[in-house]
Amino acid sequence: MVGFDGSPPAFAALRAASLLAASNHGLLTVVLVLPSEPWSASPCPLAPVLPPACDLEQAAVDQMRGAVGELAGDISVVSLLCRGRVGPTLANEAARHLCDAIVIGAHCGLISRLTGGVERYLRHHAQTELLVVQTPGRQVGPSGPPPASTGARTAPPIARAA
């Protein structure tokens, strides 16, 4: 399973996950998690200048469809659209669909560095193996790479099966 949010790390994760699925004759599940509340309902100072929530959500869905459409035609792909918090939703969907691994892209923003973001949540709560795909130029935060004992692995842009 791969978490997809349309970011460059998510595209890298999708490419890596598709290679894993192809090499293992597996099914690739692509999950887009939208917020429980529509984007326009959140207290955002930019809300008056943003397009309507339905347009933003449709753009996210279209972007996921386009990315999936560019994958090699010899792999089976299922796309899921879910609502909720990203970390818990990915963990729950991986368990529900009996996925062998969760593949995510490594984000390097300030919030991710401070909180650990989705990667940290999945390392601590997912019952499925976690593969984190590094994108070129990503700097590892001050805490360094995840410890091996957490069950998380940092995968290169082209992930290898364990």
pLDDT on residue 52: 66
CB 6 within 8 A of CB 60: yes
pLDDT on residue 55: 80
Residue 74 reports pLDDT greater than 90: no
CB 145 within 8 A of CB 119: no
Q: Does domain 2-76+85-155 fall into CATH 3.40.50.620?
A: yes
Q: Domain limits of the chain? A: 2-76+85-155
Per-residue pLDDT of 85-120, as tens digits, reads 999 999 999 999 999 999 999 876 555 555 568 888
- Residue 81 CA to residue 112 CA, distance in Å, equals 23
pLDDT on residue 122: 94
CB 37 within 8 A of CB 47: no
Residue 21 reports pLDDT greater than 90: yes
pLDDT on residue 80: 94
Q: Which residues contact 74 (CB under 8 A, 6 or more apart)?
A: 22
